[in-house]
Structure formats: structure tokens, C-alpha cells
Amino acid sequence: MVQRAGSADLPLHGGRVPPWLGDRMTKLGTIIAEAIVIEYGRDEFLRRLAHPFWFQSFGCVMGMDWHSSGITTSVIGALKRGLASRSRDLGISVCGGRGRHSRQTPDELIAIGNRVGFDGAGLAATSRLVAKVDSAAVQDGFDLYLHGFIVADDGKWVVVQQGMNGDKRQARRYHWFSEGVSSFVDSPHAAIEGKGQGEIVNLADKRAAASRNGQLDLLASLGPDRIVREVVALDPKGRSKKVDQPLLPHLVMPAHHDVREENVNMRRLHATLSAAADRGPEDFEQLLMVPGVGARTVNALAMVAEVVHGAPCRFADPARFSLAHGGKDRHPFPVPLKVYDHTIAVMRSAVTKARLGLGEELEALRRLDDQARQLERYATGPDLKEIVAGEFRRSAEWGGRSVFGFEKTEGPASEPKQLDPTYRRDGRRQTR
């Protein structure tokens, strides 16, 4: 997971995250971060952030547009707001952000360094160098506009930054991780996300060492003015030879807004829902007795559990995690606020008790994830269209909301407590 390089197409989306969603993203994102630190340690949370597939899934489970560039901005913003009050306990701080906030990163790092004892000035220099590499050494047609620097009290760090290509309406996200970086100009990236744009000049690739050394020799022997004259003489019409450069594996986030079955690993989705139906009555009996809380909340918790506990290979289809809490643009369905708030309440209770040494509720979430993996071999269920249609039918009663407003259909005021009848306890689909 640490050095998995790749790329993904992230369509540019306009607009802002509405406050009703941004506040919830801050709460849920912070709780998930704390759960990972409690279960696996601080270093593991940094590794997760450096993994582009997990990062996208993390944003999806929080209700952000499942495929858009906005996930980067919203996740960094949510973590910066949420971890600000928990940084002393967790030992993790988030600096930078979008636009003018990115330029404040060095000052923020120096201030944190003065407080906790690491070399803030040195990390400020690292921040500037990382931004310079992705804006100058990697010439791929994307102009940086976001720089997030997540740092631990021991000086380990992750950088997540993003550039845009306005003409193509696309974005590219770059992931850096201090673990394993020995040089900033010799294949330093943990990952790069973005659709191939044709020929790319990447002077930070280890294969470009000869080119970097040659450029320094030319600059020393000829000087900049003569270099320009020589280039014009060799190629007077400005033509350039095409150089083959193998493309790294990439995750393509499609431009279409709706979540389609081709974007989701249905076997894993059915296993998650089956696990919720199977473990829910046993592990969440008290939860199911709370007015308004039912099987739908357990479904969402099962997906949150996978974000906390899942192995890297399980995040190849980030769209699947959008089925936990929908999306602000009604794709795959409006955000079910009642379900979202119940998820936050359950996770907050589990994390709070775990801090006190009472880890039973976090352990129940782990069992949900374990059960989902076991059921993958034989779990079945409805197709994606049927699942999404069911969410729309009940959206109003679950407090469905999007940037277009609340859903307005009649229905009961709370979520039913019975389990989803679509699934049997053995994971197989039940006939109606």
C-alpha cells in the first residue's frame, strides 16, 4: 500500500460542499481517523492517506461526489477542521489546503514544530520542494491549486496535492509519503492520480536520472542563452520528437455522474449487505432498539467498518462506498441524513469507549468486516439499479438531502427496525 503508484481521471466539479454535509464529513472523517489510529496506529493512518484508492473510498463513504476532484478538497478540509481539536491526543496535524490556504503551509508547520519539537523549518522546506517537483519537474499539463500536508508529531508526513487542467476539465491528484522517500527527484511519489494526457515529461522519475544530470552539464557548459540558440537551430519549427514513456497503472474515475454496476464490485457489495443482515441482530441488538435506527444504519456501518479495517485490495472500486451515505448531488442517491447521523453517533460511542479501554463496539465493527469477507464466496442479492431505486423510494423518510434540497415524498418518520428482507442470514438472497 505504501508505494503503490498509479493514476486516475478525476473530473473537475464546480460548487462548494454545503454546510449540512461539510459538518457531517468533519465529524465522521475525524471519528474514522481516530478509530484507525486506535486500532492500527498513527503510521497506518498516514499510509492510508498515501493510498489513492483508499483516499477516494474514504471520501465516498462520507457522502462526497463519488468520482469528482472535489473529494480531495473536501477530505483535506474535513480532516483539517476535525483533527485540529484532536491533534494533541492523536499526534496528527493537517496543514495547507486549497488556494491561499496552501501558501500558509510552511508557517503552520513551523508553528507545530515549535509546539511538539520536530524540525518545522525543515518540513516547511520539504513542503515547498514537493510542490515544486509536481509543478515544475513533472510537466503533465496540470497546474497545482491544492496542497495538503498531514504531519505526525514524530515528523512523519503525507502530502496530498492536486492540479487541474481547465481545458480538459480534469484533475490529477499526487500522493507523497515520507516513508521510503530517499530522494525528491528519483521516483519519490507514493502515487499519482490522473488520466493520461499524452506525452508527459516527468523529470522526477528514476529513469530520468541521465536527463537530469545532462541538463546540469549543459547549463554549466553552455549557459541558458546558448542552450536556447542551439535548440532553435536543431528544431527551427518547434517540432519535438515523440518519446515513448510507459504509463503507470491508473484508476479511471469516469465522467458520468451516475453510479453504474460497472463501477461497483457487486460481489463485495452483496457480501457487505449480507454481513450487515447476519451480524446486525447479534452485535447491534441494543442499537436496533433505539427509535429510528434499523438495518439501514447497520448497512452503512458495514461500509465504514471496511474503510477502517479493509485491506488495500478492497478499494479498487471506490464507487461502492458511496452506497453508505449517498452523494450531495443525488448520485447514487440523496444523502440520508438520519442514517448518516446514526452512523456518526454509533462510531463516536465506539471510539469514546475504546479510549477508555472498552473496545467492544469497535470489535463489533471489526466482526462486520470479517463477516463480509467470509460471505464474498456465495452472497447474492439485487442488482445495483434495484438497490439504488430502493434508496430513492425511502429517501424522504431517511431525511434524504442533496444540493437540490430535501426529498419530498411521503413516508414514515423513522427507519424500520426489521432487517432487510432481501437477504437471508446465510448471505443468500431471499425470495419474496
pLDDT tens sequence across 82-141:
999 999 999 999 999 999 999 999 999 999 999 999 999 999 999 998 888 877 645 568
Mean pLDDT of the chain: 81
Packing angle of the helix pair 266-283, 360-375 (nearest 10 deg) = 140
H/E stretch holding 163 reads: strand 157-165
Q: Is 430 exposed, middle or buried (0-12, 13-18, 19+ CB in 10 A)?
A: middle
Q: What's residue 244's pLDDT?
A: 39
This prediction's pTM: 0.81
- The answer to whether the CB of 402 falls within 8 A of the CB of 335 is yes
Is the omega angle on the peptide bond into residue 382 within 30 degrees of 0, that is, cis? no
- Which residue did the predictor score with more confidence, 303 or 189? 303
Residues 272-321: tens digit of each pLDDT: 999 999 998 888 887 777 777 789 999 999 999 999 999 878 898 999 99
H/E stretch holding 108 reads: helix 105-116
Q: Give the C-alpha distances (Å, rounded to integers) separating 243 from 198, 200, 336, 363, 401.
A: 11, 9, 50, 53, 49
d(CA 174, CA 159) in angstroms, rounded, equals 8
d(CA 15, CA 97) in angstroms, rounded, equals 16
